[in-house]
Amino acid sequence: MREGDRGSDVDAAATLLVAGTASHVGKSTVVAGLCRRLADAGVSVAPFKAQNMSNNARAALRPDGDWGEIGVSQFVQARAAGITPTTDTNPVLLKPRGGGESQLVIDGEAVGHYEAGTYYDEHWGTARTAAREAYDRLAAEHDVVVAEGAGSIAEINLHDRDLANVETARFGDASILLLGDIERGGVFASLYGTLELMPDDLRERVAATAITKFRGDASLLDPGIEELEARTGVPVAAVLPYDDPGLPEEDSVALPDGDTRTVVGDDDGVADAAAVTVAVPRLPRVSNFSDLDPLTRTPGVRVAYVPLDADLADADAVVLPGTKNTVDDLLALRDAGFDERLQAFDGPVVGVCGGYQMLGERITNAAVEGTGDADEVAGVGLLPVETRFREDKRVRETVVSVDGAGPLAGVSGTVSGYEIHMGRTEPVDGGAVETPLEPGSAAVGDVLGTYLHDVFATESVREAFVDALFSHTGRERPTEHGPERDPYEAAAALVADLDVSALLGDDAHAASEPNADR
């Protein structure tokens, strides 16, 4: 092993850092695939991302046994690895909330809202300590840690405070796999330039590079690969084909911009005229939009992310997703006139978390959440409830009973999901609501609000909602369902050409000889 700054009391795992030339080059998917491959081989493996920036979060267990939150990618990667997701897999999470601020979450617990300069000047040292300690716990419990970098590993303006890339490589004594995305163009220049700009000690740790998202005949790349290897001395380990295994997206980079209407789920072989469309407003601070993923994979359902000024003439239902800043996104909806179009909409409406809060009569103590100083903000008014914001945040996994009402009529049993929210929502005086998802939900007619994320992941709920859509439109629901892919196995197949033992170098034995004592 190379000499790192890891404490001598740690029974160290072999560590591979999957870094990139830029954001959105496939790091999250590659880490998930490698975790599944190693787990399938009987290796004790854990994912790790020291610092993540994402509003797509999941509830996970903290070291103290309480609930905290982590980025969705580390939750998914832990599942791929066959382990229970914990906050150690993502000890530092930054959740952008607008106005140049992010909420800082350390070891799963929100500690405050800070601008970037304040975070780096006053809190980065604390974050690094938490990340190092979380890594050490994982390294003591597992044979291999597959770490995910963030953005580009060659951000020379951040090398002295790059927690996810530079610091992780050093305190994890990691080998590095560098990914370049050919879909962006200029992949050879990106890989070469990144290698040139990396700190010297990290450059020596690079075991290989890989090209991601390739379509076509990979042999056409051979001359470029040979030249890149000759110039850098670093092998190109694989050319990974373009594929979408169906894993949740980590951040809103994957979503269309606010001025674009984009439809997801239209590759299922069902004619558009026979399908139903769920409109989702593209909130400026959208979060946990992966709640919609189960619908996008349902034959005959189109999920359309629409601009806030879009009409709803082509929509059969509307889902308001979560948001990192309910108040400011509610004001953005109102400025665009979306609230009035929603009030006039004749079809099922579902609000999840922040979307639920927007559907109520009003939000009080609004300055806790929004960037303004208003104490009260009027809601859309489709549900007779009000939300009062408080400083504390509720984070937990939960299982609730279902007593179908509104868009979920006919459902009974239980549904599992998670909550991550500030604020408490209660019926207004005299407000009559049904509570189809206990506790805390509200339904009136075809309008439903719930704090339960992942609600559509439960088959009975999803099927009832989709049945209600087809019934509302008078269309016949398609009965042909194609085989569903296991997203973890699909991710593992995507990285089948990567030789993990070669990537780990001197630590290759750890990838092939599980440690029975851990």
Catalytic annotation, residues: 353, 453
241: buried, middle or exposed (CB in 10 Å: 19+, 13-18, 0-12)?
A: middle
Q: Do 236 and 211 form a contact (C-beta atoms < 8 A)?
A: yes
Paired tokens of 120: 């780096």
Neighbours of 300 (CB within 10 A): 23
Name, in order, each residue with C-beta under 8 angstroms of 224's C-beta and a sequence gap of 6 or more.
188
Secondary structure tally for the chain: helices H, strands E: 16, 25
What is the separation of C-alpha 237 from the centre of its chain, rounded to a whole number of angstroms? 27
Q: Which helix (H) or strand (E) holds 359?
A: helix 354-359
Strands 206-214 and 101-106: unpaired
As a whole number of angstroms, the distance between CA 427 and CA 213 comes to 49
What is the separation of C-alpha 211 from the centre of its chain, rounded to a whole number of angstroms? 23
Paired tokens of 47: 């994912």
Helices assigned H by DSSP within 423-486? 459-473
Largest CA distance in the chain: 76
